[in-house]
Amino acid sequence: METSIHHNMISKDTVRQLVDSWLAAQGETVAQSETAAAGAGETGAPDETAEAAGNTRAVTPDLYLVDLKVTPSNLISVELETDRGSVDIDDCVALNNYLEAHLDREAEDYSLEVSSAGLGQPFKVLRQYRKHIGMDVEVSLRNGQRFDGVLKDATEEAFTVSVSRKVKPEGAKRPTTVTVDEMYRYEEANSVCYKLVF
């Protein structure tokens, strides 16, 4: 007689709640750290409340979830981003450890990957667009058009890119390059990525 161990599929909603809980705690830790710094006064001495709150490492402020996937084989993939700078590896490790502590590997066999949104990867959420306003981006549209420009704006419905276009004014012998702002709905784009400039 063969026995097989059946593992349940982990709910994406469960993982999302855990990630949201961890992110909320990180925001509280940042607030406590800032309060402690303000409470240090002119002496510059650390406030005991920060240490008592368990703030033993620097926390990357403004962390947010970019993507969360749970496959039928229980591969959990979590992608983080921050509004300033980049996600610290310690943040990925801390979230990984938090999820490991709150998921039951015996009941639900799973693999876990926690990472930061990679440079040059397509933006997935509005907050990423807003983070990159004023920066060079690469745009790929569904109609096959590809171009570089400067991200000017991002709203709930659309994004605006300032691009250089060659136009031939009426009566001119040669085209001239002009910079124009073009607005696109998100569904018109295959991808928009931060353009790495070396």
Report pLDDT digits (tens) over 3-28. Answer: 445 557 889 999 999 999 999 988 76
Tokens for 198? Answer: 């070396």
Q: How far apart are CA 127 and CA 82, in angstroms?
A: 9
Please say whether the beta carbons of 138 and 119 come within 8 A. Answer: no
Q: Percentage of residues in the chain with pLDDT exceeding 90?
A: 59
Q: pTM of the predicted model, to two decimals?
A: 0.74
Q: How far apart are CA 61 and CA 126, in angstroms?
A: 18
Q: How far apart are CA 26 and CA 16, in angstroms?
A: 15
Task: Please name the fold of domain 126-194.
Answer: SH3 type barrels. (2.30.30)
Tokens for 100? Answer: 């490991």
Amino acid identity of 179? T
Amino acid identity of 155? T
Question: Which tens digit of pLDDT belongs to each residue from 63-120?
Answer: 999 999 999 999 999 999 998 888 889 999 999 999 999 998 888 889 999 999 887 7
Residues 6+ away with beta carbon under 8 Å from 79: 65, 66, 67, 68, 115, 116, 117, 124
Q: What is the per-residue pLDDT for 170?
A: 85
Q: Beta strand pairing status for 146-154 and 158-167?
A: antiparallel
CB burial of residue 101 (10 Å; 0-12, 13-18, 19+): exposed
Residue 57 pLDDT exceeds 50: no
User: Per-residue confidence at 142, pLDDT binned at 50, 70, 90?
Assistant: very high
Give domain limits for the chain: 12-116, 126-194
> Region 120-139: what's the mean pLDDT?
94
Q: Percentage of residues in the chain with pLDDT exceeding 70?
A: 79
